[in-house]
Amino acid sequence: MTSKLESLNQWVADVAQLTQPDAIHWCDGSDAESAALKAHMLADGTLIELNQHTHPGSTLHRSHPDDVARVEHLTFVCTPEREDAGPNNHWMAPSEAHAKIDALFDGCMRGRTLYVIPYCMGPIDSPLSRCGVEITDSPYVVANMRIMTRMGAPALARIEREGHFVKGLHSTGELDPNRRFIMHFPQELTIKSFGSGYGGNALLGKKCHALRIASHQARQEGWLAEHMLILGIENPQGDTHYIAAAFPSACGKTNLAMLIPPEGYLKDGWKVWTIGDDICWMRPGPDGRLYAINPEAGFFGVAPGTSKKSNPNALASIQSNTIFTNVGVTADNQPWWEGIDNGQAPMTDWQGQPYNPAVRPAAHPNSRFTVSAKQCPSYSDMAEDPHGVPISAIVFGGRRASLVPLVFEARDWTHGVLVGAAMGSETTAAATGAVGVMRRDPMAMKPFCGYNFADYFGHWLSFDQPGAQLPKVFHVNWFRKGDDGKFLWPGFGDNLRVLEWMINRVDGKVGVQATPIGNLPIEADLNLDGVTLSDEAHAKLFGIDHAGWQAEFASIGDYLAEYGPRLPQALKDEQQRIAQALG
């Protein structure tokens, strides 16, 4: 099989000449192909069959111990001018980068099959979707891409129709950490990844295409590619509002995307629908509103901590037809991870050794599940709508133990862009030695924006045009702590109370308490039925500390200055205006 598109055939031929595979397989995405690949991986040990009675169709993959996460220090954005990549990216000149990584690709597929994966990010017939082709020597990557994208013959047909696509070349190489690079060439719409089989480094449709390359495409074409979940909130009257939300890792994105309403809300008829848990592409529609699609077709979620209590919808999603990576297994071959809380115990750890908690955890802290989004109980068919869903609100949020209230609303779009640009999260003990270190992570895009953040902020500001019906922008903080170090807000399903207030703001049903940092809720407008908050919680969740915010805005000013003269003046002006208002 080849393509009707000459440029695609030529590229595959050129890669084959460089990498020297024993065979070339063009993926059609069929069930028969998937079954044959799976049988091949079970036979050679790439996949291990799990308990087919409890987890039908599910398998386990064990990575090389040195290949278990994204490698940001080896991830490069290769633009002709260093300034275009910005201080937010590692940079390498394109000619140097191609030479360096092509030397690694030379002959690397001898004894292996080269797989050609045509894929579509987003609904196959959506004008908001974009296509790519990944060449890989990893059948594990093929199996994951089949779940995570619209992969195969329909995608190839669209690529042939459109005549252009993002090129992704991947090889696991020898899995040597010293021979590993993930290179992005935005101007060439090309990705090259060598030496890793881990999802974020190897599933090139995911972070590499859907964020780093797509953010560049989006800037050129007038849309936004964002690290955001998308959820729908349906009220008892049957009206649905869609919200996009950006949180850094470990701040509950998947939990919010699959939120289950509190009991009182369920009785009243509220429903929450999941469109996506990780990536959001937004484009202005004919009515001036932003319309969003989830470019992914599946979830590549973190397993540890997923339980019936923390995220029942996620747990329900992964009971069948799931690829688990780097989890432990029980005596009867069921997947197990820390925090699953199901009364079972692991027998074998993620490296295939007898479980010994003194040696290592049963599941790697970054162990994963790959599953079709359609298996989620809260999945919405609107995820396949080619027009996308209209976004009523954009939410930013991080993990802040102090200072930041439960929720506030930006006064206008420019203020909203500043809120996103300045957002940060405090490190946890699990992540680093230092607890409570505040790191800025603009729009949760720090590891993923494919160009200079100063230009990216300018691109966001550019959407404020005459006739635009832009979403309201909010900031939330589920993680405010009291003097005793305990969380002041219950979180999880109760976060719907905050989302309801946002929707009421969008609909003009409630007022606000205006402050220099933004509009805070009037506490009586939040439905707190069944929630008990201490006096300290009331004061800290719904109030502002002027002195603390003065220091914060001085810090934000210093942070923005790091981007130099390319930073939009409007953002500097907004920071100074608020700093002055705080006195």
**Long-range contacts of 427-430, Cβ-Cβ distance < 8 Å, separation of 24 or more:** 428/250, 428/399, 430/250, 430/365
Binding residue numbers for GTP: 250-255, 368, 399, 492-495
Q: How many other CB atoms sit within 10 Å of the CB of residue 363? A: 28
CA distance 548 to 480: 14
Alpha-carbon distance values, 375 to 144, 249, 257 (Å): 15, 23, 14
Using the 8-state DSSP alphabet, how is residue 212 labeled? I
Question: Given CA atoms 132, 136, 141, 142 in this order, what sign does their dihedral have?
Answer: positive
Q: Is 78 annotated in the active site?
A: no
**Rama region for 185: left / alpha / beta (φ>0; ψ in -120 to 50; rest):** beta
Strands 271-276, 113-121: pairing kind: unpaired
Binding residue numbers: 70, 198-200, 207, 227, 249-255, 278, 366-368, 399, 492-495
* Unique residue bearing structure tokens 């004008």: 127
Burial 459-483 (b: 16+ CB within 10 A, else e): bbbebeeeeeebbbbbbbbbbbbbe
Q: How would DSSP label each residue in 106-146?
A: TTTTTTSEEEEEEEEES-TT-TT-EEEEEEES-HHHHHHHH
- Supply the angle between the helices 31-44 and 139-148 in degrees, to the nearest 10: 140
CA distance 420 to 470: 15
CA distance 207 to 219: 17
Q: Residue 255: enclosing H or E segment and its boundaries? A: helix 253-257
User: Of 177, 179, 182, whose CA–CA distance to 207 is shortest?
Assistant: 182
Question: Given CA atoms 73, 76, 77, 83 in this order, what sign does their dihedral have?
Answer: positive
Binding residue numbers for Mn(2+): 207, 227, 278
Binding residue numbers for substrate: 70, 198-200, 249, 366-368
Q: Of the listed 78, 108, 208, 251, which one is catalytic?
A: 251
- Supply the angle between the helices 413-422 and 453-461 in degrees, to the nearest 10: 160
User: Of 265, 218, 226, 258, whose CA–CA distance to 244 is shortest?
Assistant: 226
Do 344 and 336 meet the contact criterion of CB atoms below 8 Å apart?
A: yes
Alpha-carbon distance values, 250 to 30, 316, 359, 431, 568 (Å): 35, 21, 24, 9, 30
User: Of 480, 504, 471, whose CA–CA distance to 399 is shortest?
Assistant: 480
| Residues recognised as catalytic | 251
